Structure 1
Amino acid sequence: MPETMPTVAILTALSLEYEAVLKHLTDVEKREHRRGTRARLGRLPGTPWRIALVNMGEGTLTAASLTERVLSWLEPEAVFFVGVAGGLKDDIQIGDVVVASKVYAIHGGKQTPDGFLYRPEAWRAPHRLEQAAKDALGDKAHFKPIAVGDVVLADSESEFARHIRTSYNDAVAIEMEGAGVAHAAHLAGESALIIRGISDKANPDKSTEDAGGSQPRAAANAARAAVAVLHELQPKATASQPRDSDPRERPFRSSTDAPTYGGDHIDFRGSTFPGPFTAKSVGQPPQGDGQ
């Protein structure tokens, strides 16, 4: 594929998340960094984007290190972190999609004689990416903060769970890598968007829900949401922009090229989408498995 195609990196932590994204790509090629990191580069049909897909593995430190590597290696215009998370609120259901409006790193602090004083860090979603996501998904996704830490939460009544409820009360989901991605992108001056499908409720039923297939379903919903956003997102303005155009505005494709919807409702909680994006845009993955 032409090297001049604009690139977006999609990063995942789990193999099932990686496979959920890979199904949407065509003309896939393998790349390997000199230090061993592997990527699949493929086209996203119906868009101008080349996708660099990387399965990083789990954990905040790994996410931060490999995000920086991908940014310097493949030079994407933006980074999407796509996959599953645990839900923290009663109105966030399994299968729902959350686009992180803000990412909290929840483990910073200082131990004092008066107790532990929390010193969280937070990164807001880049305005350009969040706007594209809102146009693409509307009320089909939750635009809310998420909490990130190196702990798998499977007890909603634990001291750790109570800490999240009191100190990060607006967070609706929890996962383990998003803060590393957001921090690395911030230091590089780049944009990162976190998109998570809810696979469990971060409670003792987590194992049962996972065994029932909630993770693949949530990963597929997150991947499809990311694809929808990329159909809406336009590459940054280039030198080919007309000289007399307003530099504050970028031309969009015609309405006939924009993503369309096959129904009035998308139920992210179902195993299928009863009224999804059309096959022309993001409804169905291309034929083949992208291998």
Structure 2
Amino acid sequence: MPETPPTVVILTALAVEYTAVRAHITDRSELVHEDGTVVERGRLDGTPWTVALAELGEGAARAAALTTRLVSWLRPQAVLFVGVAGSLKDDIGIGDVVVGTKVYGIHGGKQTPEGFLVRPEAWPASHALDQAARSAVRDMDGVRAHFKPIATGDVVLADARSEIARHLRVHYNDAAAIEMEGSGAAHAAHLNGQVGALVIRGISDLADAAKHDADASGSQQRAAAQAARVAMGVLRKHRPRGTSDSTGSEEDPHRGPAGPASNAGDHLDFRGGTFYGTVIGKQINGGRG
């Protein structure tokens, strides 16, 4: 039987995000799950990846449920959530890209007479995908990327002086952007245990009262396009499991298929054209190189 090509699932919430990613995918065909979930599957040219692209709609709970379904159905090696977000930092502007080093779920807590006691949840990014992203953006002209935590909440933040904005500044002070789906996708990938996840968000507004004006100016299209560029860069750097470059163990002919150059009990010495030593307890003398 032919080998199944390595697959990555790219998730989006909005049509503008889907369109931005879809522009990079070739040889597309539509797949429909028995429950009606639709994906487009195609290729990212110049890579070994098959890409399955889905538009899920808004909300973390929906993202979690559908991510679980897609992972079970398509068996991907990685899940990327690619889209737009609002900035929470003065030095992160519209058109910048935030790559989530971790994703916070911001609504967990306990209300007490003394106030709201936060019980945060966080899911770290896949180390391999994080490293691929850092490598990719170094050579990307016109992309200003930030590797920072991202906050996820079922809220559209359009008031920098609101109670939720204050809540984020106090309890999630390192979060650089806010969006609505990343924690759901990250949580689902984490529970699977075999799938790396990364959230990539282009900044389309400053999470303030000017959000409507920013959106009307075309900022969502610009932000989605930048996030999609970074996502494609990640896949051009990220290697499917079981592959390596010439310095890795799996394809280095001097090291064998996977593992150290010799067994733990091996010892070989080469003197004057002759090997001396032991291999797993056997004496070797006079073996010619």
Q: CA deviation at 1:191?
A: 1.2
SS in 2 for 1:102: strand
Which one of 158, 163, 176 corresponds to residue 159 of structure 1?
A: 163
Question: Counterpart of 2:109?
Answer: 109
Equivalent residues in 2 for 1:165-180 (5 A)?
165-180=169-184
Question: Counterpart of 2:263?
Answer: none
Question: Counterpart of 1:59?
Answer: 59
Equivalent residues in 2 for 1:224-263 (5 A)?
224-237=229-242, 241=251, 244-247=256-259
Structure 2 residue 15 is the aligned partner of structure 1 residue 15: yes
Of residues 15-24 and 137-146 in structure 1, the stretch that sits farther from structure 2 once superposed is: 137-146
SS in 2 for 1:100: strand
Q: Which runs of 5+ in 1 are unaligned?
A: 249-291
SS in 2 for 1:203: coil
**Counterpart Cα distance in 1 of 2:30 and 2:157:** 35
Question: Counterpart of 1:184?
Answer: 188
Equivalent residues in 2 for 1:19-30 (5 A)?
19-30=19-30
Q: CA deviation at 1:247?
A: 4.2
Question: Counterpart of 1:220?
Answer: 225
Superposition CA RMSD, Å: 1.7
SS in 2 for 1:192: strand
> What are the Cα deviations for residues 155-197 of structure 1, in whole angstroms up to 9, with x where unaligned?
0001110110110000010000000000000001121100000
SS in 2 for 1:36: coil
Question: Counterpart of 2:273?
Answer: none
In structure 2, relative to structure 1, the CA distance for the partners of 1:247 and 1:140 (3 Å cut) is farther
Q: CA deviation at 1:114?
A: 1.5
| Paired AA for residue 195 in structure 1 | I
**Counterpart Cα distance in 2 of 1:198 and 1:3:** 39
Q: CA deviation at 1:246?
A: 4.8
Q: Which runs of 5+ in 2 are unaligned?
A: 244-249, 261-289
**Counterpart Cα distance in 2 of 1:9 and 1:111:** 37
Q: CA deviation at 1:41?
A: 0.2
Question: Counterpart of 1:94?
Answer: 94
* Seq. identity, %: 63
Task: Point out the structure with max Rg over C-alpha.
Answer: 2
TM-score w.r.t. the length of structure 2 is: 0.82
Residues matched between the structures, number: 247
Runs ≥4 residues deviating over 2 A: 240-243, 245-248
Q: CA deviation at 1:117?
A: 0.7
Which one of 141, 147, 165 corresponds to residue 143 of structure 1?
A: 147
| Paired AA for residue 52 in structure 1 | A
> What are the Cα deviations for residues 125-173 of structure 1, in whole angstroms up to 9, with x where unaligned?
1111101111111384100001100010000001110110110000010
**Counterpart Cα distance in 2 of 1:37 and 1:104:** 27
| Paired AA for residue 167 in structure 2 | H
Of Structure 1 and Structure 2, the greater strand share is in: 2
In structure 2, relative to structure 1, the CA distance for the partners of 1:99 and 1:247 (3 Å cut) is farther
